[in-house]
Amino acid sequence: MILHVLRHELRNLFLSPLAWVVLALVQLLLAYIFLLNIDAFIAQQDELALATESPGATVLVVLKTLGNVPTMLMAVIPLITMRLLSDEKRLHTWVLLSSSPISIRAIVLGKYFSVLVFFAVTWLLVCLMAVSLGLGTQLDLGHIVAALMAIFLLIAAIAAIGLYMSSLTVHSAIAAIATFALVLLLWIVDSGASLSGEESSLNHFSMSFHYQSLLSGLVDIASVSYFLLIASAFLILTIRHLHRERVDG
């Protein structure tokens, strides 16, 4: 049942002009930033040659490029998730879907995995972009793998939040704005502590803190668990909310 919903949602996503525009813009912006970082890296070669411990292409090109990815994801993922459930309610097709033999859990997971597969295309292109530098220089592949893992975990967490917000309203624009607002709040929740340079308990709730931890090359179980917990929690909330709606009518 999950695969049936997954195939249906993927077909709808890839038939949508908005989805293709999102993919094209994200890839275009990342490619532009990537090329800018390569130009800057080449221009710094004389300075780097004189330094005793100079960062390589992994830090100065790949990680600097991947550092811009969260901003793009926070902007584009809500545009894809906002219609997943809100449109079903607005077009009155949710009544038919919820009364079908497909379980609420299968519907939610099918829609969720369709978003992950959709953004996996962008993620794979980012992987190829990063690894392509290996043709001309040495890369720290372990560091890059940790950074790419951080991106995928961030996609999983934001997609789950977006799906939940889409289940709460019939207005897709409201779902997108609410998703962006909540993700932004989770991203900057520890901003006060980070500016003062002090450790804070808010770090444990911050997406930025855990993303930067993985981006630094440290595969921390706490950071991985944080993103998985966010994704699982919002998927459970979505399932419970839709189940309550079906029972209450």
**Helices vs. strands in the chain: H and E counts, helices first:** 14, 0
Measured distance CA(75)–CA(176) in Å, rounded: 9
Local confidence band at 7 (pLDDT 50, 70, 90 cut-offs): confident
pLDDT of residue 54 exceeding 80 = no
pLDDT confidence of residue 229: 96
Overall number of domains in the chain: 1
Instruction: Give per-residue pLDDT as tens, 106-146.
Output: 999 999 999 999 999 888 888 888 888 777 677 788 888 88
In angstroms, the CA 108 to CA 184 distance is 24
The Cα 96–Cα 1 span in angstroms is 16
Q: Between residues 9 and 158, which one has the greater pLDDT?
A: 158
Enclosing domain of residue 136: 2-248
